[in-house]
Chains A and B, each alone.
Chain A
Amino acid sequence: MKPKISFKKHSELPLEKDGANLFLKVMTTVSVFVFVLVFAVYLVLNGVVQNWTVGMSNTLTVQLEPSERALSASEQAQRRQVVVDFFENLDAVERVGFVSEKQMQKLMSPWLGADADISSLPLPELLDVKLKSDQNLDMEKTAAALSEKAPYASLDNHRLWLERLVKFANVLRLLSFLMLCMVFSVCILSISYAVCTSLAIHRPIIEILHIMGAKDSYMASQYAHQNFILGFCAGLAGMLLGVLAIKSIGSVAAHLNATLLGGLSIGWKGWLLMLTLPLWSALLSMTTAWINVKRTLRKMV
């Protein structure tokens, strides 16, 4: 049966004077506050992971460190060929190509100027590796295999580091999701506990109401009504405190200029969901109360 909200003034059960109300208000406020914070972390992590994933395009760069001794042209070519062969033999690789001297000149121009002669500098050679979009390359294994085959070559470790960071962020995302589930469960358990305590306290009144012909749903609707209001007010307080905390953290983070974190954005959909939390809290309180009252009353005569 669906919970129904009763807006009638008369309530035979003095629920608004229940001692458990304060406990329930505090628990719900704290739960919604924690929920807002964890939810914000979850949303931020979502955005950050998305930014980082986009940053990891389907190309990677391999550096060939310059040799300490002068190499002949054929030795130079052999060094290059070993690395090219290594990548061309990988299934995930689509195309391999060295960065030309002209391109290198362009890359270095911000530091050395447009006319600098870079041929005399001990700069590493760069190899562009284009990956197939439908295949994944295990960066750690590839890096290990490459250093075995060509110790002078190394994978661009920024991508590797970013990949590890994404994995870490995903673990955090999972943890924050589990925390959301825990907060949700604690909220339900608190309401159930408060309702069961209240039912035990008001048992004599409930017995009289039963004898007067009240159905279980009559008492349940009084509890649902009371808990809807309580859940909404406590949810509103928790939400406002949570939003305030997020704004405070946001303004502190803004001073850090953490560009790597992609601006810590929650997004308008996230804010909208947070603003509806008092309503969700009210509905959760109401439904939990309704179900618990019905279940407990079934055990009475």
Chain B
Amino acid sequence: MPQKQDTINDYIVDMRHVGLRYGNGPEIMTDINLSLDYGSFHFLTGKSGAGKTSLLSLMYLALKPTAGTVTVFGKNTGFADRDDMALMRRRLGVVFQDFRLLEHLSAFDNVAVPLRVRGMGENEVRRRVGELLRWVELEKYRDKICSTLSGGEKQRVAIARAVINRPEILLADEPTGSVDDDIGSRIMKLFVELNRLGTTVVIATHSTELISRYNYPRIHLENKSLKVFPPQGRKTDEA
């Protein structure tokens, strides 16, 4: 399982004076400074359009900052080559708000993607994916094409895909938005459990109820900059 890494940087994610703009448009983030400790758990909040998804994109290396530096796993992403970026992304798990599943593939094949891209043998892939699909109660849908699944089922597939690799950082954009309370609680329990085992977790959410249930700090994006608030919820063990 993920351990605290001995790197040149003390943070698993370290952003310094980060600015971001799309094309020639206006800057949507200005002078962002954010450091996430290894094994930390944060909620990410902000109004729609505040830049939550963009901030997560910078963390999972889908975007490069237009100003400042983003360091992930102790490596400045500005200097990482393409293969380095791929290897870094293998240490990440991402749950997208719109799931971004490969709709033409089955639930099984979607969850198997992170294992196959790293060249894992099919027997091990079958074992690990089968196990996880059982856990998220999607075993009977394993061969169903994703485009035929409901929103909640897709969300569970997306979460299973994000955690199958036992990531060192888990970035989730509204991960409980499309599931009922029971499944939502189970998903949150999974995230908490992963965090206890050393995974750094960042969850973007609009749900104040969800934040209040867990005793974790909150990163709030507003007016192109961010603030970090201390934990305000109940103790995590009680949640």
| Chain A residues within CB distance 8 Å of chain B | 10, 12, 14, 204-205, 207-216, 218, 297-298, 301
Is B117 in contact with A209, judged by CB distance below 8 angstroms? yes
A214 contacts which of B61, B63, B112, B117 (Cβ < 8 Å)? B117
**A222 CB to nearest chain B CB (Å):** 11
A216 to B87: give the CA distance in the assembly, Å. Answer: 11
Contact A301:B64 (CB < 8 A) given known A14-B104, A213-B87: yes
Within 8 A of A (CB), among B76-112: 82-83, 86-87, 89-92, 94, 100, 102, 104-105, 109, 112
A214 to B104: give the CA distance in the assembly, Å. Answer: 18
A218 to B118: give the CA distance in the assembly, Å. Answer: 9
B92 cross-chain contacts in A, Cβ below 8 A: 211, 213
A218 to B102: give the CA distance in the assembly, Å. Answer: 16
A211 contacts which of B83, B94, B104 (Cβ < 8 Å)? B94
A216 to B86: give the CA distance in the assembly, Å. Answer: 9
Is A215 in contact with B82, judged by CB distance below 8 angstroms? yes
The 9 A-B residue pairs with the shortest CB-CB distance in the complex, in nearest-first order? A213-B90, A214-B117, A213-B89, A215-B86, A212-B114, A212-B113, A213-B117, A14-B104, A213-B86
B89 contacts which of A14, A205, A210, A297 (Cβ < 8 Å)? A210
A239 to B36: give the CA distance in the assembly, Å. Answer: 61
- Verify if B62 is at the interface (C-beta below 8 Å from A): yes
| Binary flags per residue of B141-178, CB closer than 8 Å to A gives 1, else 0 | 00000000000000000000100010000000000000
Q: How many residues of B contact A (CB 8 A)?
A: 27
B113 contacts which of A12, A216, A297, A298 (Cβ < 8 Å)? A12
A298 to B81: give the CA distance in the assembly, Å. Answer: 10
A-B contact count (CB 8 A): 58
**B72 CB to nearest chain A CB (Å):** 13
**B175 CB to nearest chain A CB (Å):** 16
17 further A-B contacts with Cβ under 8 Å, apart from A210-B89, A212-B90, A213-B89, are A10-B109, A10-B112, A12-B102, A12-B113, A205-B102, A208-B113, A210-B62, A210-B86, A211-B61, A211-B94, A213-B87, A213-B91, A213-B92, A213-B117, A213-B165, A214-B117, A301-B63
A10 contacts which of B83, B94, B116 (Cβ < 8 Å)? B116
A216 cross-chain contacts in B, Cβ below 8 A: 82-83, 86
A208 to B98: give the CA distance in the assembly, Å. Answer: 12
A209 to B63: give the CA distance in the assembly, Å. Answer: 15
A215 to B83: give the CA distance in the assembly, Å. Answer: 6
A277 to B105: give the CA distance in the assembly, Å. Answer: 35
User: For B87, B104, B116, which residue has the most chain A Cβ atoms within 10 angstroms?
Assistant: B116
| Binary flags per residue of B27-39, CB closer than 8 Å to A gives 1, else 0 | 0000000000000
A212 contacts which of B82, B89, B104, B105 (Cβ < 8 Å)? B89
B113 cross-chain contacts in A, Cβ below 8 A: 12, 208-209, 212
A204 to B60: give the CA distance in the assembly, Å. Answer: 16
**B97 CB to nearest chain A CB (Å):** 14
A204 to B100: give the CA distance in the assembly, Å. Answer: 9
Closest to B119 in A: A218
B91 cross-chain contacts in A, Cβ below 8 A: 213
B117 contacts which of A14, A205, A207, A218 (Cβ < 8 Å)? A218
